[in-house]
């Protein structure tokens, strides 16, 4: 008998055994259950972003209209009524749209809530009546 030109080395034998074991174990394993948090995260689409921007803009417009007169006065009255109305509008109506109405209105409610938070942070509470 003739010897093969390149006899298999120890490394070749080890890796060939390991590859057979991996293939056999993959066949024997049960199918993996997919959990909701196992999905790859996806960025929101353009439509969702546009509807959020519409909710954001709507709340900013309402806020500017409500807070224009009190902030232009030399002697400012209490901003408590405006604060309560703006909170109810942003978080009351916003959460109603998110959890009860759903659909495209969900993004609109999120936009209203984001606008309230943004205006409060940017204006240090003046535009949303938090500085009593």
Q: Measure the CA–CA gap between 125 and 86, rounded to whole angstroms.
A: 12
The pLDDT value recorded for residue 51 is 93
Q: pLDDT tens-digit profile of 24-44?
A: 555 555 566 777 777 777 777
Q: Are 129 and 82 in contact (CB under 8 A)?
A: yes
Handedness of CA 81, 114, 49, 63 (dihedral sign): positive
pLDDT tier, 17 (very low <50, low <70, confident <90, very high otherwise): low
Of the candidate ranges 3-7, 40-44, 74-78, 79-83, the one whose mean pLDDT is the lowest: 3-7
Higher-pLDDT residue of 38, 121: 121
The pLDDT value recorded for residue 115 is 95
Contacts of 103 (CB under 8 A, 6+ apart): none
What are the boundaries of each domain within the chain? 46-128
Residue 2 burial by Cβ neighbours in a 10 Å radius (0-12, 13-18, 19+): exposed
Contacts of 115 (CB under 8 A, 6+ apart): 55, 56, 57, 58, 59, 60, 63, 90
């Amino acid at each position: 008998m003739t010897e093969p030109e390149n006899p298999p080395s120890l490394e070749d034998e080890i890796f060939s055994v390991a590859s057979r074991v991996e293939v056999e174990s993959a066949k024997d394993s049960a199918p993996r259950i997919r959990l909701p948090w196992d999905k790859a995260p996806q960025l929101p689409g353009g439509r969702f972003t546009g509807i959020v921007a519409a909710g954001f803009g709507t709340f900013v417009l309402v806020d500017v209209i409500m807070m224009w007169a009190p902030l232009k006065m030399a002697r400012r009255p209490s901003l408590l009524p405006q604060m309560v109305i703006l909170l109810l509008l942003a978080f009351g109506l916003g959460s109603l749209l998110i959890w009860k109405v759903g659909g495209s209105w969900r993004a609109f409610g999120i936009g209203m809530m984001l606008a309230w938070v943004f205006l409060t942070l940017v204006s240090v509470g003046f535009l949303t009546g938090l500085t009593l």
